[in-house]
Amino acid sequence: MNSSTALVRVHELTKTFGATRAVRSVSLSFTEGEIIGLVGENGAGKSTLAKMMAGVYTADSGTIEFNGSEVSFRSPFEALRTGVAMMAQEIMLVPDATVIENVFLGSTPRRGILPNKSKMRSDFKDLLELTKFELDPDAVVSRLRLADQQKVEILRSLSRNAKLIIMDEPSASLTADEVARLHATIRELARRGVTILLISHFLEEVLDLTTTTIVMRDGEVVKVGPTKDETIDSLVAGMVGRSLETRYFDTDSAATHKVRFSVDGLTNSSLHDISFEIHEGEILGLAGLIGAGRTEIARAIFGADALESGTVTLEGEQLTVSSPRDAIKQGIYMIPESRKEEGLILEASISENMMLSTLKRYRKGGSLSARKLDKRAVELAGQVDLRYSKIAQSALSLSGGNQQKILFGRAVEVAPKVLIVDEPTRGVDIAAKRAIHQTLLNLAKSGMSILFISSEIEEVLGVCDRVLVIHQGKVQAQFTAPFDQQQVVAAFFGQTSGVKND
Amino acid sequence: MIEKLRSYGIVGVFGLLFVVLAISSPSFLSWQNAANILDQSSILFIMATVLTLCIIAGIFDLSVAATATASAIMTVNAINAFGMVLGVIVGVGFGGVLGLLNGLGIVGTNVNSFIGTLATSFAFRGLGLILCSGGLVGITNKDTATAMRSAFEGKFLGIKGAIYIALIFSAIVGIFLSRTIWGRNVYAVGGNAQAAFLAGIRTNRILISCYVISGIGAGLAGMIYAGRYGSGATNAYSDTIAFTAIAAPVVGGVSVFGGSGSIWRGILGILTFALIGNGLNLLGVDTTYQLTALGLLIFAAVAADQVFRRSRG
């Protein structure tokens, strides 16, 4: 990081939102072709820092130099014109337009008032050659898989000659093979002199890919150094400010030998002949690639999606479940995949969200007793370690981890016999993640049977008693603790070396 | 801060308007003028109540004016056939049935409510036309017509009967919405229908119930028309009433995105409109300016809602 060759230098950058100092006096510099990892817990200030560099936010104080001259971007468009592109956590493409239209969106080569299509084609071809991507220019973006959509964003950045590309959690929603392709792309871009700033929660990825690692905590940079000197433990220690064990799930299993719940031959458009059982107090994990059919299994059991055939049996009785309402009545509950879209009423209070499924229990005469609701919500909040200031505050005002805990509070309140939990720790910080794991273990200890879906393999292996790997809508393999991570991951890709299929 | 402004800004505007009018026009604060404002607003109170409910549930019902028109005609026909009491019940119930048709059709096919009720508003107007054979129907029994008229137009404690009906209806809907489980479920469905469904709420039933209540409200408006004029006509209520009733809750601070708000906000919206109209009349301002002022006010309310949405990221 010799300052004379620095591509980007930020000096004492500060940004405050209300009472929160999101970024405090951060100074950094990046050189050409460097891959920099930026890690930290949620709320550490990573995205805010990146957004200031990309013109999304304006800094309260401090300066940004790009190629030796001071810049002040008033919009992402200005930043892009100068050579800074940012791939946000949410893909920013026009879904109904084609790949080539998206790549040249806002910078379409013109011929008078018409787009210059032949120049677009030849420029696009040059970009493909540069990146070695394989992309059909005429494919409609909404039909592409996520990894390919990201490629479109990368091409767009390159078409503007971006020198610095900031990627905010680019691999969060990719499958393992897509992640591998993204990594190859990042390395290739760096080789061509593009500087990459990678914000990631996946520490293995950061260790594997980057040359320099920046650790942020509470808005400040606590550590900058060569990645080769870091380990997962040292990064986590920097992030949380104290050394913690990253693998910590050596809890006694609460699983019994009594079968509580079973499904047999579940089949619909995305599932093929899925059968398994869950014991009392057992946590059964569903692992696999994104799109393998795990969420579809959960939704089918919960009555949110229709089944063509198959049976669901709870405590010896075969159930008919045609809606989530039926499922809840019969003792099955699901915490859905997306807390904001499917789980919470964001405008509503913590207590209303927690009691959304059980309002009937709080009827007093013809109307609801708000006092009783709030009292129960406070109890539940304690049980799931929810951090809040007022029980009447809206779900919207809480962090992702605490929003997720509201849903666990609701599950405790409903008290099902079988609880399905789909990706409960996606995008939550490490402390909240631990609290969620603890809640899962506590629920299992109380005798609940839990079906746990997660894309984070360490978490699945750490929390579950048994794991099913789902591959292309089928049960590929079954594993029992203690697990061999490599064997499990191999099953993700349809490889079941020596493992008996159930 | 912005949230507070969005929530209570309109209360301030209303208060300011009230004070300005009270100072600048001596006749504004008279009991007579207040009664006048209320009298002109009874139908709009009912319409704004049901539309506030619909918007909170995340839907629109553009067909209220058409439903009310068809109900007015049906009420007259039913009174002529079955007598006053049963006739009124059938007439109002007819509105509820049209609301049920709206609900079953729109919820069942998952059509956008705005377009769906736009379509049914044509159909319901057409239905009204069929029911009165293309013209005007009148209550044939003179005594019944007089009784109806005195019930809605006659004054009790200085206020017309129709106002009592409107206020009682609004109060009932408001209390149910704020106190009961059904009411909480309406908010949940309007706030996030998917989450509500997965939490075990019968979202379809909740939405259909809102359409039915909307239809019943329109039926009451139809009944009031039949009573006031002793007749039912295809032009009983114009669609402008429906648009005004949609604008009222928005001006009153109900988010057009659904999931929040209260019935009183719809009523406050209507009162604000009435105050602007009445005040400008008393001050001798041209009607043209009234419409412009109204339009700007509605726009400001929607803009404030949008800004609030954006500010919270």
Give the C-alpha distances (Å, rounded to integers) separating A253 from A322, A335, A416, A482, B244.
Answer: 33, 22, 20, 11, 63
ipTM of the complex model: 0.81
Q: How many distinct helices (H) and strands (E) make up chain A? A: 16, 24
Amino acid at residue number B248? A
User: B188 — contact with chain A (CB < 8 Å)?
Assistant: yes
Q: Do A345 and B192 touch (CB under 8 A)?
A: yes
Domain map (residue ranges) of chain B? 2-311
Asked whether residue A289 carries a pLDDT value surpassing 90, the answer given is: no
Q: Identify the residue among B192, B205, B257, B260 best suited for mutation to test binding to A, counting A beta carbons within 10 A and taking the highest.
A: B192
The 10 Å Cβ neighbour count of residue B29 is 12
* Mean pLDDT lowest among A85-94, A103-112, B118-127, B183-192: A85-94
- pLDDT at residue A1 tops 50: no
**Predicted confidence band of residue B32 (pLDDT cuts 50, 70, 90):** confident
Domain count, chain A: 2
Please tell me whether residues A54 and A146 are part of one structural domain.
Answer: yes
Which segment, A480-484, B27-31, B89-93, is predicted with the most confidence on average?
Answer: B89-93
Smallest CA–CA separation between A398 and chain B, in Å? Answer: 12
A214 assigned to some structural domain: yes
Of A205, A240, A275, the residue that ends a domain is A240
Interchain pair A345, B197: CB under 8 A: no
**Segment 293-312 of chain B within 8 Å of chain A by CB:** 312
Q: B245, B262, B269: which is closest to B44 by C-alpha? A: B245
CA distance B127 to B114: 20
Residue where a domain stops, chosen among A211, A240, A269:
A240
B145 token code pair: 């017509």
Classify residue A327: in a domain, yes or no: yes
Give me B29's structure tokens: 């604060």
The tokens describing A239, both together, are: 């992030």
Q: Which domain holds residue A481?
A: 259-346+414-492
- State the best of A335, A345, A351, A419 to mutate against chain B, taking most chain B CBs within 10 Å: A345
Distance of CA A450 to the CA centre of its chain: 21
Of B187, B199, B312, the CB nearest to A357: B199
Band the pLDDT of A10: cuts 50, 70, 90: very high
More confident residue, A199 or A500: A199
Contact B184 A352 (CB under 8 A): yes
Under 8 Å between Cβ of B54 and B212: no
Same domain, yes or no, for A160 and A284?
no
Query: Could B188 and A345 be called an inter-chain contact, meaning their C-beta atoms sit closer than 8 Å?
Result: yes
Q: Give how far the C-alpha of residue A63 lies from the chain's centroid of Cα atoms, to the nearest Å.
A: 32
In the predicted model, what is the mean pLDDT of residues A11-28? 85
Q: How crowded is residue B27: how many other Cβ atoms within 10 Å of its Cβ?
A: 9
Provide, as residue numbers in chain B, all residues whose Cβ is less than 8 Å from the Cβ of A348. 187-188, 191, 259
Q: Which fold has domain B2-311?
A: ABC transporter involved in vitamin B12 uptake, BtuC (1.10.3470)
Q: Is B195 on the interface with A (CB under 8 A)?
A: yes
pLDDT of residue B6: 65
Of A89, A246, A201, nearest in space to A153 by CA: A89
Instruction: Say which amino acid occupies B30.
Output: S
Instruction: Count the residues in chain B.
Output: 313
Do A148 and A74 sit in the same domain of this protein?
A: yes
Within this chain, do residues A208 and A156 fall inside the same structural domain, yes or no? Answer: yes
Residues A129-178: tens digit of each pLDDT: 877 778 899 999 888 887 788 888 888 888 888 899 999 888 776 777 77
A242-269 confidence digits (pLDDT tens): 433 344 455 677 888 899 999 999 999 8
Residues A91, A229: one domain? yes
Q: Determine whether the interchain pair A347/B200 forms a contact, defined as Cβ–Cβ distance below 8 Å.
A: no
